[in-house]
A and B are shown apart, each in its own frame.
Chain A
Amino acid sequence: MTTHPAIELAGLTKRFGDVVAVDSIGLEVGVGELVSLLGPSGCGKTTTLNMVAGFLDPDAGDIRLHGQSVADRPPHKRNSGMVFQSYALFPHMSVFENVAFGLRVRRLPKAEIERSVHEALAMVRLDGLHDRSTQQLSGGQRQRVSLARALVYQPDVLLLDEPFSNLDAKLRVAMRAELVEIQRRAQVTALFVTHDQEEAMHISDRIVVMNAGRIEQIGSPTDVYRRPESVFVADFLGEANLVEGRIAAATAETATVETADGLQFRAETTKPWSNGDACWLMVRPEHLVVCADTDPAPANRMHGTVKSHAFLGSAHIVQVEAAGRDWSLKLSDSEWTPVAPGDDVAIGWNAPDCVVLNA
Chain B
Amino acid sequence: MSDATVDPRFRRKPPKRPLRLSWADERVRGIVWQVVVVAIIGGIIYWLWSNTVHNLEVRRIATGFGFLWREAGLPIAEHVIPYEPTDTYFRALTVGVLNTLKVAVVGIVLATILGTVVGIARLSKNFLVSKIAGFYVEVIRDLPLLLQLLFWYTVMQGLPGPRQAFHPAEGLYFSNRGFRFPALEWEGAHTAALAACVVGTVLTWLYARVARAKQMADGQPRKIWPAAIALILGLPIFVWLALGAPWTIDWPALRGFNFRGGMAVSPEYAALLIGLVTYTAGFIAEVVRAGILSVNQGQWEAAQALGLRHGSVLRLIVLPQALRVIIPPMTSNYLNLTKNSSLAVAIGYQDIVSIANTTLNQTGQAIEGIAIIMLVYLTISLSISLFMNWYNAKIALVER
User: Do the two chains bind?
Assistant: no
Chain B interface (Cβ within 8 Å of chain A)?
A: none
